[in-house]
Amino acid sequence: MNARRHLALTAAFALIAMALPARAQAPSLADAAGSYSIATSSRIHFSIGQTGGGGIAGNFAKFSGKFRIDGGNVSRSSVEFTLFPESVRARERRIENFLRSSAVFDTDNYQTVTFRSTRVTQTGPSSANIEGALTARGKTRKERFAVTLTDWDKRSISFTIRGSIRRAPYGMDVGTPIYSNVVEFDMDIKGLRR
């Protein structure tokens, strides 16, 4: 029994040791070329600072999207993303209801927030800036997100995406200046190869 367990552990360590050199170098965008759909295991986190510290934070449970990484020319890559603000999750029900209300997302009249990339600029071997059209509450504006590739294998790919979006231009300025005008997005996006 002990010997078998020892053998299994040795085998596991050997496998990890073999895998390590491949992971030692930063993942490269060009190598991860392909078409992906965004997995539901992704995490769309946001936070809004408040005067005197603290603030509101939460995430969106429902979203969908797809993206394509062009191996030959990363700048020709593209992404389409749809968020359902009705699925917003925060630490309290009354915060969620307020965010869904006509004061913020107005989910009765606007069911989705969408993002369509217009320009991808590679900023490093595993990072890029994505510029695109963000539409919320019927208003469309150009916004930019910073993307870093964190992991990928044959079937899936992972990114962290960060962006700071000013909410006032979308008609969501309620609560300023107690709550910051700037919404910080911190997303862990997992893509599954299509």
Q: List interacting residues with other proteins (CB under 8 A).
A: 50-52, 54, 92, 94-95, 98, 101-103, 174-175, 177-178
Smallest separation (angstroms) from other proteins to the CB of 91: 8
C-alpha distances (whole Å) from 141 to each of 118, 137, 160, 172 are: 12, 11, 22, 14
**Nearer to other proteins among residue 70 and residue 96 (C-beta):** 96
Smallest separation (angstroms) from other proteins to the CB of 121: 37
Smallest separation (angstroms) from other proteins to the CB of 51: 5
Q: Do 74 and 120 contact (CB within 8 A), yes or no? A: yes
**Nearer to other proteins among residue 7 and residue 178 (C-beta):** 178
Smallest separation (angstroms) from other proteins to the CB of 122: 41
Beta strands 156-166 and 34-38 are unpaired
**Nearer to other proteins among residue 80 and residue 106 (C-beta):** 106
**Nearer to other proteins among residue 39 and residue 174 (C-beta):** 174
Query: What residue has token string 């307020």?
Result: 98
**Nearer to other proteins among residue 95 and residue 192 (C-beta):** 95
The C-alpha atoms of residue 194 and residue 184 are separated, in whole angstroms, by 30
The two structure tokens encoding residue 82: 């749809």
The two structure tokens encoding residue 182: 């700037």
* Stated length of the chain: 194
The two structure tokens encoding residue 83: 């968020």
DSSP assigned state of 91: S
Smallest separation (angstroms) from other proteins to the CB of 50: 6
